[in-house]
Structure 1
């Protein structure tokens, strides 16, 4: 690994825990101005204040003003896009480049691939070429790999998630993001088979804080290198407090119960827009 890539990765991965807490905010391209991202600049400020290690943003949000200051979250510029308005929503297209991300001050780039989609072949070509460019420029690559297609019966099955993680590693990613397995203990095998840091996706908004924090704690205990969770954080009425609870789990090996106790302390709620 070259010096530039190592330096940029150190801004994303906490040096003491070798883990990371990432908040993706790239949902606007896919789904529009969803709850929690209507005022994206305010949400970014809350994510940084709460302790996110990195934010995933499309280039337009970066230009609107990635939060800077004494407490800074690393910037991961997302290069993939599609919209829910299309029947081919799972077919992600590259809408940015590594060079553009460097000009905008990014610390890493991310690419989304949906295995099993009719456009899988093209998306694999895209991530392979992006990985090559990342190596040339010393830019870390976060690969978001999911199984989404007509022949996928269970995208959370351990063998399917392990396959997703392995594809990300084999094609040159420095960090791989995958869904959590539907069998908690099986995620250890996913991590072992990957060989680079693996972070879990949050997915759709969960019904309870208990469910969400237990998933996070179980994943860390199984060997995950962190979380990359969006809607479950930025749509939460106490999102800064939730981030602090998640930091305790990710970086401090706190239990889900300890995280829930922290979240239960009195504090202001917000009306999430």
Structure 2
């Protein structure tokens, strides 16, 4: 391998394990303005407080934000060499009639921007075979030019053409992986195939070339996105290229720390979820509540093992217009009213701890609650009090409309 390319690649993929956590922040370039990247500079500053190996940017942002990559501790800079029309939001552009791609920067230009690596799309599934051939020619040319300048090339393989269906997606992706490897790509980025067996096929098709997994649309919960990471690593993947999962999270730095712990430190999902815990409470955004009551079901099931709103530590009230979630505000009045010390504030994360063994069932906590959100289990003779799920409330994770969110204490 080209010596310069080998050195640069070792700055992207950790030489100790061959893995990488890459933050993709080039979405404005491809899809138009997007939530979380309204100010790329500020988003990167937040992300850089966490741990990551590389950042993906457009040529323009790489030039504008070059000062952020000048220190020894800075992540590697991977810059996009092409643009495609297939990711555009409809509200920002004319309808896409077919997948089209244009080269926006020569590898030599990317080197002058301080790039450690280059990234280039390779789409499969074109209806027009001649266009598929031209696209493969562009990939081959770009990879060879990168080789001349010692610049590692990340090929992003995506089934995206007119012939792509749910039935042939995996086969088209596998074909694209093999073609990108044959073109000489140094490492690959591909979408997750939704199960380990088919993802293992992609790893096998890559013939030893590192395969990173794209993040795709924002996952419903943090746990959902991290479960995918666990699966792809178990299948032999070499890391992730995550964008929306990072910049649309409540805390990009903490989320990156979680990814880093999974990818590089071999932490379990349970251990990693603990990283996200911080002092906070649930905040209700009333206007977003749809009244689905999923939060009540999740709460009762996670604490009592049954789907029963009557055993949930929160409630949904129906208003004249709309709904209102009523959740514990951590005011602490129940703790002060407790006669035996069965309730106390957890010192690190600030949630309410309940010590069942010393509770006498006096119900003073119920009387003290100003919003009457505490319930009482007559059979067990104990109060049902929100404990914030020990730091990561399941109601927040599962709320489909984000009517329940976390806010700092």
TM superposition score normalised by structure 2: 0.63
Quote the offset at 1:39 in angstroms: 0.6
Further displaced range: 177-186 or 6-15: 177-186
Tell me the residue number matched to 1:249. 262
Quote the offset at 1:150 in angstroms: 2.1
Cα distance in 1, alignment partners of residues 34 and 201 from structure 2: 35
Q: Is the 8 A contact 1:74 1:107 kept in 2?
A: yes
Q: Does 1:71 align with 2:73?
A: yes
TM superposition score normalised by structure 1: 0.92
Cα distance in 1, alignment partners of residues 172 and 125 from structure 2: 11
Counterpart mapping for 1:139-154 below 5 A: 139-154=151-166
Cα distance in 1, alignment partners of residues 137 and 80 from structure 2: 17
Q: CA RMSD in A?
A: 2.1
What is the number of equivalent residue pairs in this alignment?
A: 271
Further displaced range: 247-256 or 152-161: 152-161
Post-superposition Cα deviations, 1:50-77, rounded to whole Å, max 9, x if no partner, equal 1121111111101111313342010111
Q: Is the 8 A contact 1:36 1:234 kept in 2?
A: yes
**1:212 paired residue among 200, 213, 225:** 225
Q: Does 1:32 align with 2:44?
A: no
Tell me the residue number matched to 2:371. none
Q: Does 1:92 align with 2:97?
A: no
Q: Name the SS of the counterpart of 2:274 in structure 1.
A: helix
Tell me the residue number matched to 1:50. 50
Residues 62, 88 of structure 1: alpha-carbon distance in 2 compared, 3 angstrom cutoff: farther
Tell me the residue number matched to 2:275. 262
Cα distance in 1, alignment partners of residues 135 and 170 from structure 2: 22
Residues 217, 266 of structure 1: alpha-carbon distance in 2 compared, 3 angstrom cutoff: farther
Q: Is the 8 A contact 1:8 1:140 kept in 2?
A: yes
Gaps of 5+ in 1: none
Further displaced range: 86-95 or 135-144: 86-95
Residues 90, 235 of structure 1: alpha-carbon distance in 2 compared, 3 angstrom cutoff: farther
Post-superposition Cα deviations, 1:65-120, rounded to whole Å, max 9, x if no partner, equal 13133420101110111342241473221111101001111111110122113443
Q: Name the SS of the counterpart of 2:157 in structure 1.
A: strand
Q: Name the SS of the counterpart of 1:49 in structure 2.
A: coil
Quote the offset at 1:264 in angstroms: 2.6
**1:239 paired residue among 252, 265, 288:** 252
Q: Does 1:176 align with 2:188?
A: yes
Further displaced range: 235-244 or 152-161: 152-161
Q: Is the 8 A contact 1:92 1:113 kept in 2?
A: no
Higher relative contact order (CA 8 A, sep 6+): 1
Cα distance in 1, alignment partners of residues 170 and 262 from structure 2: 23
Q: Does 1:230 align with 2:230?
A: no
Tell me the residue number matched to 2:118. 109
Residues 181, 223 of structure 1: alpha-carbon distance in 2 compared, 3 angstrom cutoff: same
Q: Is the 8 A contact 1:113 1:120 kept in 2?
A: no
Residues 90, 257 of structure 1: alpha-carbon distance in 2 compared, 3 angstrom cutoff: farther
Tell me the residue number matched to 1:19. 19
Cα distance in 1, alignment partners of residues 262 and 45 from structure 2: 22
Q: Does 1:60 align with 2:60?
A: yes
**1:81 paired residue among 80, 83, 94:** 83
Cα distance in 2, alignment partners of residues 270 and 121 from structure 1: 49
Cα distance in 2, alignment partners of residues 165 and 181 from structure 1: 13
Further displaced range: 137-146 or 74-83: 74-83
